[in-house]
A and B are shown apart, each in its own frame.
Chain A
Amino acid sequence: MNDVNTTMVDKYRNDFLKEVEENVEEGHWVKMCMQCGVCSGSCPFGPHWDHPPQEIFMMIRAGKRDEVLTTESMWMCTSCYNCIVRCPRELPITHIMHGLANYAHRLGIAPKMNPTRRFSAIFWNNITKTGRVNELALSLKLYFMDGFGNGVKKALAMKKVGIGMIKTKRLNPLALVNHKGVKNPKELHTLIKKAREIEDRRKGLAS
């Protein structure tokens, strides 16, 4: 069991709604949901979620902490913003979904193999390393994240697109060794570290 997670369970006991309010991005909006279900009806991925947003809000109020934080549901969100536009109570539902996903990830109890989570992690590491996305490295990392064999298969399937992109100078094969980042990546790293410290302190996550 993760340490931060245990701390939070101890801190909030049964009051998961309060935990969400205090730790999740835009979490204070959850209590304002009036259970009309427009968000669930508007979501283009609705039928594929285990728990559509309306249900997630209800589960939070019902104190179903583990079920909410370990579900893959909010990782399904594609940020189409249909729910935000339509919510009669003006809840920032998309942001809350991402907030919940992020919080679950920080606690270390988000589903390990969820592709969205894995992509996000790869993307984050890639962009923060130099301050600019190394697209070639990102693609390769994604192709090969499920092992060498799978990576070759995926790469071959995308062969035509890749060659096309090289021909039109949309992809530079040399970028693997010659990627140009921001001027001073060290400074960026310090900045991000500081920001994280501030946020962790605010949320009581600092160890």
Chain B
Amino acid sequence: MSENKTAVYVCKGCGIGDRLDTDQLANIAESEGKCSLVRQHDFLCNADGVNTIRNDIDSEAVTHVVIAACSRRAKTDAFGFDDVAVGRANLREGVIWVRPDSEEARETTQEMADDYVRMACAEIQYMKQPEANQNAGTHKTILVVGGGISGITAAVESSKAGYAALLVEKSGQLGGWAAKLHKRVPNSEPFADPQDTGVHDLIKLVEDDNNITVFLNSTVTRTSGAPGQFSVDISAESGDTVTENVGSIIQASGFSNYDANQLPELGYGKSPDVVDQAQLEELARQAGDGPMTRPSDGKEIESVVFVQCAGQRSEKPGHLPYCSGHCCNTSIKQAMYFKDTNPDVDTMVMFDDLRTPGNGEDFYRSAQRKGVIFTKGKAQQVDAANGQLQVNFRDMILDEDAVANADLVVLATGQVPNSGVDIEATAAADAEDESAESESAAEDTQEVSVSVDSILNLTYRQGVDLPHLRHGFSDSHFICFPYETRRSGIYTCGPVRRPMDIAQTQEDATGAALKAIQAVENAVLGRAAHPRSGDLSFPSFRREGCTQCKRCTVECPFGAIDEDEQRYPVFNESRCRRCGTCMGACPVRVISFENYSVDTVGQQIKNVDMPDEFDEKPRLLVLACENDAYPALDMAAQQGLEYSAFVRIVPVRCLGSVNTIWITDALNSGYDGVMLMGCKKGDDYQCHFVRGSELAHERMSKIDDTLQQLQLEPERVVTHEVEITDIHRVPTLINEYAAKIDEIGMNPFKGF
């Protein structure tokens, strides 16, 4: 291994040279940063500047480069040198753009820049250019679990893009719920009439495609491995099992119908003439183009009432609290079954809020034109009397109780996701069993669940299925990464992700297929998938120092870490998303990345020049998440918003990677306050690594004890949730915090 040689380049462009003493910066890099090669350049990101760096790398054997210029988010193309480690000192967005250009501010502004150069020089000493993961897999086949409309679409789209697909379906035929429909809600102009489901054409596409292998009457009985190298057992009902190697997995396990037996007040189970939407589809299929008849006595149906939101959008126990999205359009479609056959049939849709996604508004109008009556009302009770059904409801417009008579009542019940075992509830129940030795396992009846059979049977340490978020739907970053689950290389699409109709499902399945393809391509190259896509670094740990505490394996949001027989962590590089949550969790600090570690950040913190107590220059450390908080800070700078010259900002991959040692080290070495800026946490989280922000908040809530031991005020450490759009808020947060620290006074540990 050759010796490290670090070069520092100080840019004078964009006003840096006018505002700062760059000679002094160069001196600091040389004397304090101990960098042998220091150059200044008038315009570093132009061709000449970049060539200077390139030449130094090639002829001067430079291995580490520090660029003291703009933010690390700017000019990434110009400064993207793949063969050396690159560090950035943010003099533009981080210093001159957030400080006033005035005589009295000059000194503190220069100090800011000096510190950022010191920090970058310190960081680079501990960085290595990462080499790609050597344990990369080679398989590019895509496994699709579930043969409904979403699964079929995902398989077909994968195949169209040139990737072989395996399609596993539990039942004996493809098509899922869609194949059981009489007709579907229209998806083309003029959105006026129900149309053919098109499922049979889709199934034919699958059958005619040599690139798609279908396994009917089969389930996935074991899944192990990582993106690019999954090994999957597919077992048929007959007991035959085949093992297949696949690159990525799409779980399209769909939904089950909500059990309408839980709605006796609406007459279900009491009269055969009260049916749910699925049963009505069956009646319609049986009737064909003829009139539908009552299940009870075969009388031709002359009046029908559709009760929307049956057992959903309700906080009652056993009901679904959410809206299933498709049911208003479905009821409109089903009312048309009647009206199209015989316009004299009375059809009433009893709604609370009619929600018609897609082009449903046209469809709704078409139904009104056909004479379907829409009544804003809440059904309270359905009784059978004199060979007819009586729907007692509250008319919400006329504000009175009313009765509607009908031959048939259709309940619009909701979708319950088939998301397999709730591994977090299982883990909680296990933990309870372990501690209390109680026989009665905590029966979690809060959520309405259908299947408790595992769908993927993962051999992961963290559980057999994908983690759920709310109401049993699989967890994914709703806005930025909707298809990505918390298991790398495994994607979900369709109603297992959130309630949706056929049109949305097909769009969803196409998206998931593209993501699965992206995953195999990245995995084969040994690179990370989103959100750090293309990242070559991966975590490793110092075995001698590990205490087998299991915190990293438990806290990894993506189930990337298994345990060996001695309970040491086993990192699956291909499953890792490089957030560093394990690094932040490790109490003995043995986990690190080649270019991001406890040292790379710790040394930045320590190498700030700390003025003594009587200088009246406090120092505040800001650890900012590079996904949202750091860009927000950059954008604030671009808008010329100013903030205190006493802050030193260090970007981190995710707040989850913040190790508490950084906080205690900072306070011990004289910082007057530490502020953490991360993404939104909770059920509607924005954290790009799902759990990172949440974990950081948890860890920081426990740091109060440490602060008290040090006789420090707990206000010296604060954590904020920040969004990328909080451009005006972030400088305010910093300034308010600076004022607060001013109130509390200086850290007594300065100078020790």
A residues engaging B (CB < 8 A)?
Answer: 17, 31-32, 34-35, 54-55, 58-59, 61-62, 89
Partner of B395, one of A32, A62, A89: A62
Binds A, one of B373-381, B629-637, B666-674: B373-381
**A35 pairs with B373, CB closer than 8 A:** no
Please judge, given known A-B contacts A31-B368, A32-B368, whether A61 and B373 are in contact too, CB under 8 Å: yes
- Chain A residues positioned under 8 Å from B398 (CB to CB): 55, 58-59, 62
CA distance A35 to B349 in the complex (A): 13
**B397 pairs with A32, CB closer than 8 A:** no
**A55 pairs with B371, CB closer than 8 A:** no
**A55 pairs with B397, CB closer than 8 A:** yes
CA distance A35 to B350 in the complex (A): 12
CA distance A32 to B371 in the complex (A): 9
Question: B369 interface residue, CB < 8 Å from A?
Answer: yes
8 new A-B contacts at CB < 8 Å, known A31-B369, A58-B398, A59-B398: A17-B373, A32-B369, A34-B354, A34-B368, A34-B374, A55-B397, A62-B375, A62-B402
- Chain B residues positioned under 8 Å from A54 (CB to CB): 397
What are the 10 closest A-B residue pairs judged by CB atoms, nearest first? A58-B397, A32-B368, A35-B376, A31-B368, A61-B373, A58-B398, A35-B397, A55-B397, A55-B398, A31-B371
- Chain A residues positioned under 8 Å from B371 (CB to CB): 31
**B373 pairs with A31, CB closer than 8 A:** yes
Q: Mark B665-692, 1 if CB is under 8 A from A, else 0.
A: 0000000000000000000000000000
Min CB distance, A94 to chain B, in Å? 20
A-B contact pairs, 5 of them (CB 8 A): A34-B354, A58-B376, A58-B398, A61-B375, A62-B395
CA distance A61 to B395 in the complex (A): 12
CA distance A58 to B395 in the complex (A): 9
* CB nearest to B396 among chain A residues: A35
- Chain A residues positioned under 8 Å from B402 (CB to CB): 62
Q: Chain B contact residues: over half helix, strand or loop, or mixed?
A: mixed
Q: Mark B71-99, 1 if CB is under 8 A from A, else 0.
A: 00000000000000000000000000000
- The interface centre, meaning the residue of A17, A31, A54 with most chain B CB atoms within 10 A of its CB, is A31
- Chain B residues positioned under 8 Å from A31 (CB to CB): 368-369, 371, 373
CA distance A31 to B335 in the complex (A): 15
Question: B200 interface residue, CB < 8 Å from A?
Answer: no
Q: Mark B137-169, 1 if CB is under 8 A from A, else 0.
A: 000000000000000000000000000000000
Min CB distance, B401 to chain A, in Å? 12
- Chain B residues positioned under 8 Å from A62 (CB to CB): 375, 395, 398, 402
B residues engaging A (CB < 8 A)?
Answer: 354, 364-365, 368-369, 371, 373-376, 395, 397-398, 402
CA distance A62 to B402 in the complex (A): 9
CA distance A55 to B376 in the complex (A): 11
- Chain B residues positioned under 8 Å from A35 (CB to CB): 374, 376, 397
Min CB distance, B365 to chain A, in Å? 7
CA distance A17 to B347 in the complex (A): 13
Min CB distance, B122 to chain A, in Å? 63
* CB nearest to A15 among chain B residues: B346
- Chain B residues positioned under 8 Å from A55 (CB to CB): 397-398
CA distance A34 to B351 in the complex (A): 11
CA distance A54 to B398 in the complex (A): 10
Min CB distance, A93 to chain B, in Å? 15
Min CB distance, A40 to chain B, in Å? 10
- Chain A residues positioned under 8 Å from B397 (CB to CB): 35, 54-55, 58
**A32 pairs with B365, CB closer than 8 A:** yes
- The interface centre, meaning the residue of A17, A34, A61, A62 with most chain B CB atoms within 10 A of its CB, is A62
- Chain B residues positioned under 8 Å from A89 (CB to CB): 365
CA distance A117 to B368 in the complex (A): 32
CA distance A42 to B371 in the complex (A): 27
* CB nearest to B351 among chain A residues: A35
CA distance A17 to B346 in the complex (A): 12
CA distance A15 to B364 in the complex (A): 22
CA distance A34 to B395 in the complex (A): 14
- Chain B residues positioned under 8 Å from A59 (CB to CB): 398
CA distance A61 to B680 in the complex (A): 48
* CB nearest to A61 among chain B residues: B373
Min CB distance, B357 to chain A, in Å? 16
CA distance A32 to B368 in the complex (A): 6
CA distance A62 to B394 in the complex (A): 12
* CB nearest to A35 among chain B residues: B376
- Chain A residues positioned under 8 Å from B376 (CB to CB): 35, 58
Min CB distance, B305 to chain A, in Å? 13
CA distance A17 to B343 in the complex (A): 14
- Chain B residues positioned under 8 Å from A17 (CB to CB): 373
- Chain A residues positioned under 8 Å from B368 (CB to CB): 31-32, 34
* CB nearest to B361 among chain A residues: A34
CA distance A128 to B320 in the complex (A): 65
CA distance A54 to B368 in the complex (A): 16
CA distance A31 to B376 in the complex (A): 13
CA distance A115 to B376 in the complex (A): 34
* CB nearest to A51 among chain B residues: B398
* CB nearest to B400 among chain A residues: A62
CA distance A59 to B373 in the complex (A): 12
CA distance A161 to B402 in the complex (A): 53
CA distance A26 to B485 in the complex (A): 54
CA distance A62 to B401 in the complex (A): 12
CA distance A35 to B396 in the complex (A): 10
CA distance A59 to B395 in the complex (A): 10
* CB nearest to A58 among chain B residues: B397
CA distance A34 to B365 in the complex (A): 9
CA distance A59 to B365 in the complex (A): 20
- The interface centre, meaning the residue of B369, B395, B398, B402 with most chain A CB atoms within 10 A of its CB, is B398
* CB nearest to B371 among chain A residues: A31
CA distance A58 to B365 in the complex (A): 16
CA distance A160 to B163 in the complex (A): 93
Min CB distance, A60 to chain B, in Å? 10
Min CB distance, A79 to chain B, in Å? 24
CA distance A59 to B400 in the complex (A): 11
Min CB distance, A19 to chain B, in Å? 14
Min CB distance, A13 to chain B, in Å? 12
* CB nearest to B404 among chain A residues: A62
CA distance A55 to B354 in the complex (A): 18
CA distance A89 to B375 in the complex (A): 16
Min CB distance, A59 to chain B, in Å? 7
CA distance A61 to B351 in the complex (A): 14
* CB nearest to B348 among chain A residues: A61
- Chain B residues positioned under 8 Å from A32 (CB to CB): 365, 368-369
Min CB distance, A89 to chain B, in Å? 8
CA distance A6 to B365 in the complex (A): 33
Min CB distance, A33 to chain B, in Å? 8
* CB nearest to A64 among chain B residues: B398
* CB nearest to A31 among chain B residues: B368
- Chain A residues positioned under 8 Å from B364 (CB to CB): 34
* CB nearest to A29 among chain B residues: B368
CA distance A54 to B373 in the complex (A): 14
Min CB distance, B49 to chain A, in Å? 59
CA distance A4 to B368 in the complex (A): 29
Min CB distance, B391 to chain A, in Å? 13
- Chain A residues positioned under 8 Å from B375 (CB to CB): 58, 61-62
- Chain B residues positioned under 8 Å from A34 (CB to CB): 354, 364, 368, 374
Min CB distance, A21 to chain B, in Å? 9
Min CB distance, B20 to chain A, in Å? 59
* CB nearest to B364 among chain A residues: A34
Min CB distance, A30 to chain B, in Å? 10
CA distance A185 to B740 in the complex (A): 91
CA distance A188 to B364 in the complex (A): 46
Min CB distance, B405 to chain A, in Å? 10
CA distance A31 to B369 in the complex (A): 7
- The interface centre, meaning the residue of A34, A54, A89 with most chain B CB atoms within 10 A of its CB, is A34
- The interface centre, meaning the residue of B369, B374, B375 with most chain A CB atoms within 10 A of its CB, is B374
Min CB distance, A126 to chain B, in Å? 39
Min CB distance, B682 to chain A, in Å? 34
* CB nearest to A88 among chain B residues: B361
- Chain A residues positioned under 8 Å from B369 (CB to CB): 31-32
